[in-house]
Amino acid sequence: MKHLPENDTIAAISTPIGAGGIGIVRISGPNSSEILNKFFNNGARTVANPRKMVLGWVVDNGGLRVDQALVVFMPAPRTYTGQDVAEIQAHGGPMPLQKILETVISAGARPAAPGEFTYRAFLNGKIDLSQAEAVAEVIQAKTAQALAAAQSRLAGRLAEQIDLIRQELIAVLAQVEAAVDFPDEDLEILSEHDLARRLEDRAMSPLKNLLAQARTGLLLQDGAVVVLAGKPNVGKSSLLNALLHEDRAIVTEVPGTTRDLIEEWLDLDGLPVRLVDTAGLRPVTDVVEEQGVSRAVARAARADLVLFLIDGSEPLTDEDHQARGFLSEKPILPVINKIDLSRHPALRPDLLFPPENWLAISALTGQGLDSLCQAVRQSLLQGDSGPDSTAILPNLRQQLDLGAALAATEAAASALKNGRPPELAAVDLREAAYHLDEITGQAASDEVLNQIFSTFCIGK
Ligand SMILES: Nc1nc2c(ncn2[C@@H]2O[C@H](COP(=O)(O)OP(=O)(O)O)[C@@H](O)[C@H]2O)c(=O)[nH]1
Ligand SMILES: [Mg+2]
């Protein structure tokens, strides 16, 4: 966006293309009133009566009437962009709106780039960057929860919290810098331990809280990947079918039947979960099955959660231990299946996972599936009760910056606590503040700005 001039006058059709009751062409910039006078026969009256709708005709430079319209003029700075803005409400068809836009452009406006109105609002300090992002997210929201979270960021709730945290960082930084500049003077400063404590309470803990929400936000947007793992024949495919209430995966008594990955979406109380059924995990000689196993291992490594199944009607075998060995250190929920059959007396699940972690189910009868779903949800949300109407749910970009700010603040706190030179803590604190500034846009690079505003539609 940086290459775009900021002080010319831009125009765009702001309503979706197609037939509609009305359509709106929006104009923003210092020449809005002058341009309005050129193409609107009631332009002078419109400018003289700001924020009032005036009926008149849009007239092209050949004097031809293009469309009848209601036009409003809003003088700077109390407008969306912070500049003079005019809005033309005309008939909502693609042709009249296109003709009006052409007329406005030949009267001296420039076609606006996607998101350019909002970009100007950002440049003029009407909104910060997190609010600008929220504008696009409000427009694109697909669920009521996503909308509520975007609205709360649009209202500036994230920016407010970031600002409070930033103030704390700067306050501590000032103390630390005083210790750097006047090391020998007996300054009335807090002890290093108290400063570290202050960082923990007033910066790290709110940052962690926001990050926990970000996780939930991403889960809501992208869904979580849950992989079913275990040796062949323990009932993975049966569990997938039971959870989906349909026969999606092939279930047979022949071990090693599932060779490819089967993936299905499951709605877990509003939490979208991508459930992945895998080939049984075991060392194999068959080439096709081997492919299935290596895919399963790769998928499990990228999962948010792995459900590890065993068969409760038989003792553990080497294959169970091998299957366990295939899994990396992902969060694993161990599950004993087939509890409709009598449990084998020699079964020792505690050899694989602590006894209190195991869930017991029957994929056949459905017993224990509700508790399983609850446990999956809990594990994915990590104790968070899930999104509520007050959640802010920072987006991915904001999450990365929050994480970086937290890491730098932690480093500063630990430097202070361990009596390391205050210069080190000062560097970390400045870095933390910088990452917060990236969220609000005070320090965002052109690249970041381009990325954000390019996701907007034209006219917003
Ligand atoms: N009794 C009983 N049998 C089950 C249960 N779950 C699966 N099975 C049976 O175990 C066999 C293997 O099941 P399948 O889902 O194909 O296992 P996978 O190889 O792990 O995918 C099939 O004959 C299923 O009908 C269960 O909960 N109870
Ligand atoms: Mg299977």
- Is 356's pLDDT higher than 90? yes
Expressed as residue numbers, the domain containing 37 is: 10-126
Q: Is the CB of 363 under 6 A from ligand 1?
A: yes
For residues 216 and 238, the answer to whether their CB atoms sit within 8 Å is no
Tens digits of residue pLDDT in 54-71: 999 999 989 999 999 999
Percent of the chain with pLDDT over 90: 61
Q: Indicate whether 234 and 285 sit together in one domain.
A: yes
Ligand 1 atom at minimum distance from 253 CA: 23
- Answer yes or no: is 387 within a domain: no
Tens digits of residue pLDDT in 278-305: 866 666 666 666 666 777 777 777 889 9
Higher-confidence residue of 17 and 207: namely 207
Closest-CA residue, ligand 1 atom 1, reads 338
Q: Indicate whether 249 and 362 sit together in one domain.
A: yes
CA distance 243 to 71: 56
| CA 255–ligand 2 middle distance (angstroms) | 8
- Answer yes or no: is 457 within a domain: no
CA distance 14 to 460: 6
DSSP, res 40: B
Q: Is the CB of 312 under 6 A from ligand 1?
A: no
Q: Indicate whether 248 and 362 sit together in one domain.
A: yes
- Answer yes or no: is 452 within a domain: no
CA distance 451 to 46: 37
Mean pLDDT of the chain: 88
- Answer yes or no: is 450 within a domain: no
Q: Is the CB of 229 under 6 A from ligand 1?
A: no
- Is 112's pLDDT higher than 60? yes
- Is 387's pLDDT higher than 60? no
Domain count, the chain: 3
| CA 234–ligand 2 middle distance (angstroms) | 8
Residue 350: other Cβ atoms inside 10 A: 13
- Answer yes or no: is 451 within a domain: no
Mean pLDDT of the region 319-339: 90
Domain boundary among 336, 356, 381: 381
The length of the chain, given as a count of residues: 460
Q: What is the dihedral of CA 374, 375, 376, 377, to 10 degrees?
A: 50
Place of tokens 């209601």: 70
Domain boundary among 81, 102, 126: 126
Give the CATH number for residue 210: 1.20.120.430
pLDDT at residue 253, as a whole number: 57
DSSP, res 112: P
pLDDT at residue 266, as a whole number: 83
Phi, psi of 280 (to 5 degrees): -60, 145
Which of 18-27, 385-394, 439-448 has maximum average pLDDT? 18-27
Q: Is the CB of 177 under 6 A from ligand 1?
A: no
For residues 322 and 298, the answer to whether their CB atoms sit within 8 Å is no
The strands making up 10-13's β-sheet, listed across from edge to edge, are: 54-59, 65-74, 85-92, 20-28, 10-13, 110-111
pLDDT at residue 280, as a whole number: 61
Tens digits of residue pLDDT in 124-134: 999 999 999 99
Domain boundary among 91, 126, 161: 126
Give the CATH number for residue 86: 3.30.1360.120
Tens digits of residue pLDDT in 238-289: 999 999 886 666 565 555 555 567 788 887 876 778 888 886 666 666 666 6
Strands 262-268 and 271-277: antiparallel
Please, is 311 exposed, middle or buried when counting C-beta atoms within 10 Å of its C-beta (0-12, 13-18, 19+)? buried
Contacts (Cβ under 8 Å, ≥6 apart) of 229: 236, 278, 281, 296, 300, 306, 307, 308, 309, 323, 326, 327
pLDDT at residue 154, as a whole number: 93
Mean pLDDT of the region 74-95: 97
pTM score above 0.85: no
- Is 452's pLDDT higher than 70? yes
Q: What angle do CA 222, 225, 231 make, to 5 degrees?
A: 170
| CA 357–ligand 2 middle distance (angstroms) | 23
pLDDT at residue 189, as a whole number: 56
Q: Indicate whether 364 and 434 sit together in one domain.
A: no
Q: Indicate whether 177 and 78 sit together in one domain.
A: no
Q: CA 421 from chain center: how many Å?
A: 37
Phi, psi of 209 (to 5 degrees): -60, -45
Q: Indicate whether 79 and 93 sit together in one domain.
A: yes
- Is 196's pLDDT higher than 90? yes
Closest-CA residue, ligand 1 atom 9, reads 235
Ligand 1 atom at minimum distance from 238 CA: 15
- Is 109's pLDDT higher than 90? yes
pLDDT at residue 111, as a whole number: 96
Q: Indicate whether 356 and 408 sit together in one domain.
A: no
Tens digits of residue pLDDT in 166-190: 999 999 999 999 888 877 665 555 6
Q: Is the CB of 280 under 6 A from ligand 1?
A: yes
Q: What angle do CA 338, 341, 342 make, to 5 degrees?
A: 120
Mean pLDDT of the region 400-414: 97
Q: Indicate whether 80 and 97 sit together in one domain.
A: yes
- Answer yes or no: is 4 within a domain: no
Give the CATH number for residue 294: 3.40.50.300
State the first-to-last Cα distance of the chain, in angstroms, to the nearest integer: 14
Q: Which of 401, 439, 402, 437 is nearest to 131 (CA)?
A: 439
Q: Indicate whether 403 and 364 sit together in one domain.
A: no
For residues 67 and 91, the answer to whether their CB atoms sit within 8 Å is yes
Q: Indicate whether 197 and 252 sit together in one domain.
A: no
- Answer yes or no: is 314 within a domain: yes
Q: Indicate whether 303 and 157 sit together in one domain.
A: no
- Best residue among 238, 257, 278, 319 to mutate for probing ligand 1's pocket (most ligand atoms within 8 Å of CB) is 238
Q: Indicate whether 295 and 269 sit together in one domain.
A: yes
The string over 391-419, giving b where at least 16 C-beta atoms fall within 10 Å of a residue's C-beta and e elsewhere, is: bbbbbebbbebbbbbbbbbbbbbebbbee
- Answer yes or no: is 150 within a domain: yes
Q: Note the ligand closest to the C-alpha atom of 311.
A: 1
